[in-house]
Amino acid sequence: MNQTVIRLDRVSKSFRRYKNTGDRVLDLILRSSARGHEFWALKDVDMEVVEGHTIGILGRNGSGKSTLLQIVVGTMRPTRGTVQVNGRISALLELGTGFNPEFTGRQNVFYNGRILGVTQEEMEARFDDIAAFADIGDFLDYPVKTYSSGMYMRLAFSVAISVNPKILIVDEALAVGDARFQQRCISKIKQLREQGVSILFVSHDSDAVRRLCDHAIVLERGRVVNQGSAINMTNWYLSLMSVNFDLERQKMIEQAALEQEEPSEDHTLQDLAPLEEVDVNRADATREAALDLKQFEDEFKYYRHGDGAARINKILIRNSRGEVTGTVFMGEIVSLEFYADFYSDQDTHIMGFYLRDRLGTDIIGLNTFQEHARVPPVNRGERVNYRFTFRIDVRPGVYGISPALAYNQIETRYLDWIDNAEILRVSDPDTSRNVFGAYLPPQRRVKVSKVEKGDGQSAPGHDERVADSVTF
């Protein structure tokens, strides 16, 4: 059984806020708190982190994320509650934390190592690796006050991962720096996970939380308002954003969605033709899909939100022959059809969908706005059909289809959104082929030829193979 490395039990943190400096000084002199206003940055937070797990922390600015991390690290004490930490912690908090701006980068490396309990000799042995990962050149011998924020983060991250931490804490640090270094950091975090390091990860990047974290908690006004799998919580957090963090309204929307799952005369498409049966005779892969889907049911969680002004009521997946199916072949032209009923007048709106893999990564995203499709005004009581036709060039596997109706492209306001409303299985008709990436380009050219030694020109008799392709 994995050991618990972090445990928080009803942790709360309060601060005194003052309207002006004079009130603060008077309270310090008189040793009172009459002029200050009590503010609770955290309230009764419970959290447990198990060895080797990565926990994402979501919340808007001011929700208490940074305060929580500082309490875990030990740079801040809770007002009440208990904190238990087992193991060496290495943390990347706010830029500037832990580094002396007057020291050079080299001096700060050893300074931080001593703070983290690493001897001078150990840091000297690791210094070359730290310098190589940071890759800031001769700036190592200049004061860090001359660094850009990206250079600072490079050095801070390099030091943090070099001290063999049992617990790594990252607070929005990856938002700084160039894309190449961010990718290196993410790869390193994945490597640390595999080595059993526990990680607390704070980020506004929901894709990063989905890809890196096992579990996530959502903080709002200092309280944990929801927690669960990283995929479910990032989706729930996006839903909370769409109602401007109004928790009561969010609960009402969720309750309405649950109630409307029951068939009713007003909210179903009973007058439409029923779904056709899946063609189980089209290749063995179709029959295999029905057997394999059960093992993925828990990974594609259904979740619905939106204000209910319209409702997506039916989804059809059609293969290149127009047949309704749950399995399509890579390279095949497919159509996704969505039917929606409107319970309000809408002068304009957007319909779109995501095709996501089991980790919640967005593989395909299409909507009517980006495709410049004409969307007519809709009146209350009308029904609209949307059909997206495209070629499937993603790797074989199982994908969730998440459709959404939005008011416009700019606001995060939804009439209806369904995570994993349907499951799509993609099979490869060429069973001898392996697809290693997420995407297989439809037009490919591979050329293999022999050359004479010392000659860069192709020799006669080269073999050139051109893959079949379809352009549309």
Q: Give the tens place of pLDDT for each residue, 411-447.
A: 778 999 998 889 999 998 887 888 888 888 888 888 9
Q: Which residues pair with 147 in a beta bridge?
A: none
Distance of CA 306 to the CA centre of its chain: 20
Question: What per-residue confidence (pLDDT) applies to 351?
Answer: 96
Residue 78 DSSP symbol: -
Q: Determine contact, residues 137/161, Cβ cutoff 8 Å.
A: no
Which domains are present in the chain? 4-247 (3.40.50.300), 264-427 (2.70.50.60)
* DSSP per-residue letters across 246-306: -HHHHHHHHHHHHHTTS--SSSS-TTSPPPPPP-TTSHHHHHHHHHHGGGGTTTS--EEES
- Across 255-267, average pLDDT: 53
Question: What per-residue confidence (pLDDT) applies to 216?
Answer: 94
Q: Tell me the pLDDT of the chain averaged across its residues.
A: 81
Q: Which residues pair with 336 in a beta bridge?
A: 317, 388
Q: Which residues pair with 385 in a beta bridge?
A: 339
72: nearest Cα among 198, 233, 218:
198
Q: Which residues pair with 11 in a beta bridge?
A: 45
In this structure, is the dihedral angle defined by the CA atoms of residues 321, 325, 330 and 335, taken in order, positive or negative? positive
- Within a 10 A sphere around the Cβ of 232, how many other Cβ atoms? 19
For residue 379, give every residue at least 6 positions away whose Cβ sits within 8 Å of its Cβ, in sequence order, or none: 342, 345
Which runs of consecutive H residues, i.e. helices, occur in 293-345?
Answer: none
Alpha-carbon distance 46 to 223, whole Å? 9
Alpha-carbon distance 470 to 385, whole Å? 27
| 152 token code pair | 């600072």
105-115 and 120-134 are packed helices; what angle lies between their axes, rounded to 10 degrees? 130
Q: Is pLDDT above 80 for 53?
A: yes
Pairing of strands 383-391, 198-202: unpaired
pTM recorded for the entire structure:
0.68
C-alpha angle 237-240-243 in degrees, rounded to nearest 5: 155
Q: Determine contact, residues 12/44, Cβ cutoff 8 Å.
A: yes
Q: Is pLDDT above 90 for 181?
A: no
Q: Is pLDDT above 60 for 292?
A: no
pLDDT tens readout for residues 322-378: 999 989 999 999 999 999 999 999 999 999 999 998 878 889 999 999 999 999 999
Instruction: Name the more confident of 178 and 367.
Output: 367
Q: Is 117 left (phi over 0), alpha (psi -120 to 50) or beta?
A: left
Q: Burial code of 17-39, b = ≥16 C-beta within 10 A, e = fewer?
A: ebeeeebeeebeeeeeeebbeee
Q: Which residues pair with 339 in a beta bridge?
A: 314, 385
Question: What per-residue confidence (pLDDT) applies to 304?
Answer: 86
Q: Please, which contacts does 208-214 make with residues 24 or more away whose CB atoms are closer than 8 Å? A: 208/174, 209/56, 209/58, 209/233, 209/234, 210/234, 210/359, 210/360, 210/361, 211/186, 211/359, 211/360, 211/361, 212/54, 212/56, 212/186, 213/54, 213/55, 213/56, 214/53, 214/54, 214/55
What number of H helices and E strands is found in the chain?
10, 21
Residue 73 DSSP symbol: H
Q: Determine contact, residues 422/440, Cβ cutoff 8 Å.
A: no
CA Rg, the chain, in Å? 27
Q: Is pLDDT above 60 for 168?
A: yes
